[in-house]
Each structure stands twice: as C-alpha cells, then as structure tokens.
C-alpha cells in the first residue's frame, strides 16, 4: 500500500530567498531548505546612459535577456 504524501511549498523573501518544502505524511516529515539565493544576477540592468532614450533602453533589455538565454553548460559540469 502506497503512502499518501501531502506537499506544501512555503516561499519567504527576507533579503534573500528562502525556500522550505515540507513533505508530510502519516509516517514521516522531511524538511528541505535552500538559503540564500541571490536572484539579482538574473535581473537585467541597463546602464545609466541609456535611461533617457526609451527605444535604446528597450533594445538594451532585449539584448541582455537574449544573452542570458544563450548561456549553456556542458553536461559533465
């Protein structure tokens, strides 16, 4: 007979992202926690000299997002 596991995910953001995942069942309770995660590296930032031109600013964000999407890692890493 398989045990029923009821997952619940609680996200709390306090200067860093803390993720706690509780798996609870009638027989066991496990905690998995990863802290801190700095998500600022994934947010594109435009240089100050493009802020006056909306078109140039838009192109800058598109370019930075495109470059972020092109990152690849070897399977062995």
9: tokens are 């995910």
pLDDT band for position 20 (50/70/90)? very low
Q: What pLDDT score does 56 carry?
A: 92
**Domain ranges for the chain:** 1-37, 40-71
Residues 18, 55: Cα–Cα separation, whole Å:
36
pLDDT digits (tens, 9 = 90+) for 28-41: 556 566 677 777 77
Where residue 18 falls (left for φ over 0; alpha for ψ -120 to 50; beta otherwise) is beta
Burial 11-45 (b: 16+ CB within 10 A, else e): eeeeeeeeeeeeeeeeeeeeeeeeeeeeeeeeeee
């Amino acid at each position: 007979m398989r045990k029923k596991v009821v997952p619940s995910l609680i996200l709390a953001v306090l200067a860093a992202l803390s993720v706690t995942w509780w798996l609870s069942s009638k027989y066991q309770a496990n905690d998995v926690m990863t802290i801190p995660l700095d998500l600022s590296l994934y947010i594109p930032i435009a240089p100050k000299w493009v802020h006056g031109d909306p078109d140039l600013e838009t192109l800058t964000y598109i370019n930075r997002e495109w470059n972020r999407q092109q990152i690849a890692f070897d399977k062995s890493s």
